[in-house]
Structure 1
Amino acid sequence: MEVFTIGTDRHWRETATQPPYPVLPRRSATFFKGSLIWTVDQDNLADPAPGFLRFSLENEVFGVMSPPPCPPRPEYTMSRLAELRGELCLVCVEQDNELVEMWMCDDVEKPRWDQRHTVIVSTFMSPDLYPIAAFDDEIVFKQWKYHTRRYDLKTEAFGDVFRLENLKYHNPSTGMLGYQRRFLSYFDVIPYVPSIIPLPKEGFSYFD
């Protein structure tokens, strides 16, 4: 683990201790209340993962965040973390792949998980749901390769937001809209809120 603090460091520096557990590759950390949280790579451990790997930005110390009591334990490869409305959300897939539990907590030091929602996944849907954002009574998920879906908490029903494979683009040579007709292996969607607060000269860190 290396850290670079803008306005303080002149080069990348290693943290005092290295991560005690391997994390899943190609999966970004989730920022929540001053900590970066990663999903542990269960396949590279001899024993069950003790929880989620946490890195405090304040004192640059690693720790373990205990998981919720998903029976019998979370499937870490399928689980997804996200920050929703000031709470940490964990999407936990049941072993039969038909139910998706949404657990929420508001503390990284002593997390007390609350199972807030249970999403019924139909047989033709992939249970690989990644929460992106929450709006009123709806939660927007990214699903598998091409889809984003919105889930209505009142009606407990899914609806399509868009399918990336159906997006059109403007062809400058013809001046018309057309399908991109490209093979898509992966895409990502992130919530974005523009900030009007100027960045200070010190106190921001980059991680590698």
Structure 2
Amino acid sequence: MTSIPDHIIYHILLQLPVKSLVRFKCVNKNWSSFVAHPDFIKTHLDCTKTQSLIISCLEHQNLHTSIIRFFSIRVINEVSDIEFSASFPVPFDSYHVLPSCNGLICFYGSHGGIHVCNPATRKMVTLPDSRGADVQSSTCGLGFDKITSKYTVVKFLKPSDMDDDVSDSLRLEVFTMDEDNSWRTVRFQPPFRFPHRQPPVFAGGFFYWISNPVVDSSGFSIISFDVGHEIFGVIRPPESLLRKNWYLFSLVELGGKLCLVDLDFDVVDKKRMDIWIFKGNVDFDGTHDLWLRETIIHSKESIGCTLPVAVVGGEILLHGYVKGLGELNFYDPKLGRFRELEIGKVSWQYFHVSSYVGSIVPVSNNQ
């Protein structure tokens, strides 16, 4: 029997979905070496065109253990289908989950414990704790350095007894997956206060946080951190928003772009949501940043606690809560039209959702 040349098998494997690749790794050592090679993993990720959604929820098992569940949802036109699900036991009763980064997801408990998983391969690692007991951590972020092809987790730390949010003790810690055995500290002189509890957004090689500037106690600014060069910067919000309070805004990543969402919950019967899309600097000194506004007018009585979380097929996915129940709606910016996303056989009261592309990216070199 004539065997199939390796290069043909290689290209066939590149066309397969993640679920099939995980299964075919067990066929023989040759196929397993193909699938595990970093070049294959990168090429397969680049070739993956299907964008899905990843939904997570937490189920309590007992006083000490919960299970975090992930569901990959594929949306084609107005039909949604569950591609796969994955579950991981975790030692906390509440959690924060970050948007997917090339198929990897970072999540952590309210009182610590940072985990990175790949739901498609059902693999998870737990990161070590930071050094020093008396520290307070802000929310974490997961990003990717295209130059080194490394995945990085970041978090701000400050002493728990620090009254003023501005201090030389404020530091950023970085953990590079498959490179660091412990957290590294990035030294800097902060031109900003301790970032607020909103998770950072990762877009285009940068992490972004909302914070109050040091020189002006009113208003807010946006901190950037270049994951490749480990350099900080500050972005000015749109001029019309400078004097508003930080808690009226949220940062999101939509279609690979940094976006600033004007929540403004103080407006009664609010039907309008402004999404400001960051287009970059328009001069060399960084004093003028270009933002473009996209306005959403909801047909309901109030847009309520709604946040854009993904762009799928040119439509903006809105995640909100109505009378305590979570709901998902698509908004078509060209037609100004809404439609509800219904997911059969699965229902949650509270959940997290983000855009997702499945991958075989490992969470450790031991896989």
Q: How does 1:152-171 map to 2 (within 5 A)?
A: 152-162=332-342, 168=345
Residue 92 of structure 1 aligns with which residue?
A: 262
State how far apart, in whole Å, the 2-side matches of 1:85 and 1:14 are. Answer: 31
CA distance in 2, matches of 1:137, 1:8: 37
Provide, for residues 138-184 of structure 1, a one-character-per-residue CA deviation record: whole Å limited to 9, x for no partner.
21111135111111223323222148xxx755xxxxxxxxx77xxx4
Q: Deviations over 1:11-42 (max 9, x none)?
A: 212221275322222x3211012111112269
- Find the aligned partners of 2:177 and 2:300 in 1 and give their Cα distance: 49
**Distance (whole Å) between structure 1 residues aligned to residue 193 and residue 338 of structure 2:** 36
- Cα shift readout 1:53-80 (whole Å, capped 9, x = no counterpart): 2222123233222112345645532322
Q: How many equivalent residue pairs?
A: 181
Equivalent position to 1:58, from 219, 223, 228: 228
Residues 63 and 87 (structure 1 numbering): CA distance in 2 closer, same or farther, change over 3 Å? same
Instruction: Identify if the C-alpha distance between structure 1 residues 59 and 30 changes in structure 2 by more than 3 Å, giving closer, same or farther.
Output: same
Residue 113 (structure 1) aligns with: 291
Deviations 1:62-104 (A, max 9, x none): 3222112345645532322222223222221356333211211
Q: 1:32 aligns with which of 183, 203, 206?
A: 203
Once superposed, what is the RMSD of the aligned Cα atoms? 3.4
Q: Secondary structure at the match of 2:239?
A: coil
Structure 1 unaligned runs (5+)? 170-178, 202-208
Letter in 2 for 1:16: R
Aligned to 2:311: 134
CA distance, structure 2, for counterparts of residue 149 and residue 190 of structure 1? 13
SS in 2 for 1:77: helix
Question: Equivalent pairs: percent with the same residue?
Answer: 28
Distance 2:244 2:333 in 1: 23
User: Alpha-carbon deviations, 1:171-204, whole Å to 9, x = none?
Assistant: xxxxxxxx77xxx4x4210111123677897xxx
Amino acid at match of 2:279: D
2:193 aligned partner, one-letter code: Y
SS across alignment from 2:290: coil
Which of 310, 313, 329 aligns to 1:149? It is 329
Q: Greater shift after overlay, 4-13 or 59-68?
A: 4-13
1 or 2, which has the higher helix percentage? 2
